[in-house]
Structure 1
Amino acid sequence: MDLKTSVDEVLRKIGRNMLLFQQLEGLLKFTLSGNKLSGVSSQLERKQAKHVASTQKQTLGILVGQYVEEILGPETDDEGPDLDKITEPHFSYKFRLGHNEAFYEEIKTWLAQLVDDRNELVHHLLPQLDTTSAASCEETGQKLDIQADTIRQAIRNMQSIAKAMTETKKEVVALLQSLEGKSMLFPDEQPKTSALNK
């Protein structure tokens, strides 16, 4: 491969990997924007909008940290609402995946390495790239191909988790809209059985 072709190819692979990292970041933002919600009914919409806006501003490193702790991390005893102060319906939802400690640590380390790889790609690769050597460009291209495979694996994992979260939320909504759900939420408001129906 001649020098110009080698340089063009390695630059294409750098761009490809940057786009893959952006796709992964977008999936993390989607998942973290919808993994939890808690509050009284009159404030839920505002709280959710604020949460989504805050998540959209986070960097990949912050997103990975939140994902590891909020979705993969061990269950924590969150303080619930002060029941004496609630004057309207309160809703609370949290999506979390259960894992054993070894798997949790493995995924945590793997995702942290991905963040390091992304920072290396964005901030350090181009200044260090030797565009006067076809062999150097081809070697860098091979490393970028390996990196792309790793990012794609992370994307596939994140897509399956985002799908599971979306399906879970649909099931919760369907339950809340059903007669069974309404009877659980509002037991005192269910229609009484008429004497004619007996």
Structure 2
Amino acid sequence: MSIELQIQGQGLAVEQRPIDPVSTLQREVQRKLGRCLIRLQQYERLMKALAIDFEIAGPSDELMAIRQKRGEVVSRMTLGQLVAELTGTYLQPEPPDTVEPEWGPADSQRIWFRMQTRMALQPEDYERVVAGLKELVALRNELVHHFLERFDIWSEAGCHHADAYLDAGMAKVDSHYAELRQWAITMDQARSAMGAFMASPAYTDLLFDGIRPDGTVDWPTCGIVRHLRTAETVLAVDGWADLGQVIERMNLMHPEQALKRYGCTTWRQVLHESKQFKIRRDQGSAERPGRTEFQSLTKPLQSSDIN
């Protein structure tokens, strides 16, 4: 009940006017509707922040511009489009139901970079998450486009129904927001771990010399093999390079290519382990000492290629 006071001369007159209960209920429905829409916008903003960094690829000197363009595209996406992007890239069933295509840089003369972020879920968890996200999109569309069609908020009963619907909807949105926030934290932790790895000597060894963190070597593209091929090109006579001369050149020009980095104790072991070269032994003569020679393979290594 409302009480209105009127002053008449020196006395007070009290007039009581009833408050319309529907108006009070309407205001509460409006408050809860606004709260749901604000949280949905927070959800969209967080998902857009994630979507920008699901994947990035391109020349290293253009990555910032590429990311900016990606941000412009993402900023125009609807919640439905964002969910489709999320479930088609970041979230994957375990094992993945798609095979990643091979990726090759368009320009081999530039340094290219590609990073993908994925969260693998068990099939039943993946289906649950996808269904929940579709339900969230439907809720958002209902609130924005059809709320007044569904609920008669000019009646007391309609306000009560709308109020209960909004309470349940807010609980769903809050649950999805908490889940998305955890995904964002996980992605940020993954990026931090990747950044720490990229700042480590192990990453430099992998990137430039093909030495993996577990100590195994990508022999065809590793640093020591690349430099051996270069030395061979410079020093070869009739297609064969003297290993002794190559070692002198390597020690002078590339002392960082230490044998122990590749798990080897001799240069001949490098030639054998890499399986990238033919090797032969020149026995020499009374006038000339023997020597080991090698040349790059143009076909897979056969046992007869090593003498």
* Fold shared, TM-score > 0.5 on shorter chain: yes
Is 2:210 the counterpart of 1:146? no
Q: Which of 34, 41, 44 is matched with 2:53 structurally?
A: 34
User: Does residue 88 of the first structure (1) align with residue 110 of the second (2)?
Assistant: yes
Q: Partners in 1 of 2:202 and 2:67 — Cα distance?
A: 26
- For 1:56, the equivalent position in structure 2 comes to 75
CA distance in 1, matches of 2:160, 2:255: 73
Residue number among 165, 170, 182 corresponding to 2:192 in the alignment: 170
Provide the rounded CA distance (Å) in 2 between the counterparts of 1:111 and 1:128: 22
Asked if structure 1 preserves the Cα contact closer than 8 Å seen for 2:57 and 2:112, the reply is yes
Match of 1:125 among 147, 160, 167: 147
Q: Is the 2:25–2:156 contact (alpha carbons within 8 Å) kept by the matching residues of 1? A: yes
- How far is 1:147 from its partner? 0.5
The one of 86, 99, 111 equivalent to 1:77 is: 99
Report the Cα distance in structure 2 between the residues aligned to 1:31 and 1:106, rounded to whole angstroms. Answer: 20
Following superposition of structure 1 onto structure 2, how do residues 90-129 of structure 1 map, counting pairs within 5 Å?
90-129=112-151
- Report the Cα distance in structure 1 between the residues aligned to 2:113 and 2:99, rounded to whole angstroms: 17
The residue matched to 1:162 in structure 2 has which SS?
A: helix
Residue 5 of structure 1 is aligned with which of 9, 24, 29? 24
User: Does the CA-based 8 Å contact 2:151-2:161 persist in structure 1?
Assistant: no
Calculate the aligned-residue CA RMSD, in Å: 2.2
Contact 2:153 2:162 in 1 (8 A): no
Q: CA deviation at 1:77?
A: 2.8
Q: What is the identity percentage for the equivalent residue pairs of Structure 1 and Structure 2? A: 27
Distance verdict in 2 for CA 1:22–1:84, change over 3 Å: closer
More helix by share: 1
- The 3-state SS of whatever aligns with 2:179 is helix
CA gap 1:57/1:191 in 2 versus in 1, 3 angstroms: farther
What CA distance in whole angstroms lies between the structure 1 residues aligned with 2:208 and 2:186?
28
Q: Which runs of 5+ in 2 are unaligned?
A: 1-19, 210-222, 225-253, 259-307
Higher relative contact order (CA 8 A, sep 6+): 1
Bigger CA radius of gyration = 2
Choose between structure 1 and 2: higher strand proportion: 2
- C-alpha distance in 2, partners of 1:56/1:112? 20
Point out the more displaced range, 81-90 or 178-187.
81-90
In structure 2, the CA distance between the partners of 1:83 and 1:29, relative to structure 1 (3 Å rule), is: closer
Give the C-alpha shift of residue 111 in structure 1.
0.8
Aligned to 1:98, the other structure's residue is in SS state strand
Residues 24-83 of structure 1 show CA distances to partners (whole Å, capped at 9, x for unaligned) of 111110111112111221222221111111111100000011101111134333333335
Following superposition, the deviation at residue 8 of structure 1 comes to: 0.2
Rounded Cα–Cα distance in structure 2 between residues aligned with 1:81 and 1:108 = 28
Q: Give, in angstroms, the shift of residue 176 of structure 1.
A: 0.7
1:130, CA displacement in angstroms?
A: 2.0
2:105–2:112 Cα contact (<8 Å) kept? no
- For residues 170 and 142 of structure 1, do their structure 2 counterparts lie closer, same or farther at Cα, with a shift above 3 Å needed? same
Matched with 1:192 is: 256
**Separation in 1, partners of 2:146, 2:172:** 19
Find runs of 4+ consecutive structure 1 residues off by over 3 angstroms. Answer: 188-191
Cα separation, 1, equivalents of 2:105 and 2:26: 64
Structure 1, unpaired ranges of 5+: none
